[in-house]
Homo-oligomer: A and B are copies of this chain.
Amino acid sequence: MAAEVLLDHEQQYKMLEAEILRFVHKPGDIISESSLCQRFGLSRTPARSLLQRLQSNGLIRIEPKRGSIVTKLNLNVINQLIYERFAVETMVLRDYIAACNPADVERVRFLFYQLKDVAAPYFDDREAFDTSRFLTVDLSMHSEWFRRMNLDYLWQRLSSPQSSYTRFCMLDILSGNNVPDVLEEHGQLLHLIESGNTTDLEPLLRRHLYGGIRRIGSRIYTTYVDYFEPFGGDERAAFKET
């Protein structure tokens, strides 16, 4: 195979990152410097930079003199990151609902109808359903309230593919089982925004953000068991949704 020489470092990194996030490289897989040298037509120095960058984002672990290994997901870490997202987004959305004007509401409404359009094939013509686009529109709704409240950096920080969380979400998404829930819950969020209701916000967001754990369920211990770090202690308590 010819080396992919057309890509700059940033593109190379994004490509590797995407491959890890989408489980093309599975947890436990080895990505050696030499494989990157061949693939991208690099010498070892820039290949090492790529690996070090992947490591600093928690996607691989470089073991000296042994190799670079795609990290496994840590359910404990995932739970804490969901908690973080839940805490932050509850407050952001509360503040957003207090601050938004009719034009803002209209924008959210538009994004929701867009989400419905993208989701339609999921029920009618499963083949035509575009998972990736659904995810994009889903996220663009969430980013809307952050953007409106001038919290773009914070949204970027929460949604950047660090550590285990993004890959966990990807497990949920790739199976496609999240579509009905996401559609339903985003509809309810829109309804809260339209009505200015903030009292029902917290339980709804809790259900929405912990949905991944609910849907993946026991497959963590069966189908996907090799993707996760061995479970020690009482991490099964995760199922109780706090």
Chain A residues at the B interface, C-beta cutoff of 8 Å: 45, 49, 52-53, 56-57, 76-77, 80-81, 83-84, 86-88, 90-92, 95, 150-154, 157, 242
- Chain B hits for A153, CB < 8 A: 76-77, 80-81
Determine the distance from Cα of A228 to Cα of B57 in the docked complex, in whole angstroms: 26
Most chain B beta-carbon contacts within 10 A, residue among A45, A95, A150: A150
Name the CB-closest residue of B to A92. B87
Copies in the complex: 2
Determine the distance from Cα of A57 to Cα of B157 in the docked complex, in whole angstroms: 12
- Chain B hits for A80, CB < 8 A: 150-154, 157
CB distance from A214 to the nearest CB of B (A): 19
Chosen A-B contacts, 25 in total, with CB atoms closer than 8 Å, are A49-B52, A52-B53, A53-B56, A56-B56, A56-B57, A76-B153, A77-B153, A80-B150, A80-B151, A80-B152, A80-B154, A81-B153, A83-B88, A83-B91, A83-B151, A83-B154, A84-B84, A84-B88, A84-B154, A84-B157, A87-B88, A87-B90, A88-B88, A90-B91, A95-B242
- Chain B hits for A150, CB < 8 A: 76, 80
- Chain B hits for A95, CB < 8 A: 242
| New A-B pairs, 12, CB < 8 Å, besides A53-B56, A84-B88, A87-B88 | A49-B52, A56-B57, A77-B153, A80-B150, A80-B151, A80-B152, A80-B153, A80-B157, A83-B91, A83-B151, A84-B84, A87-B92
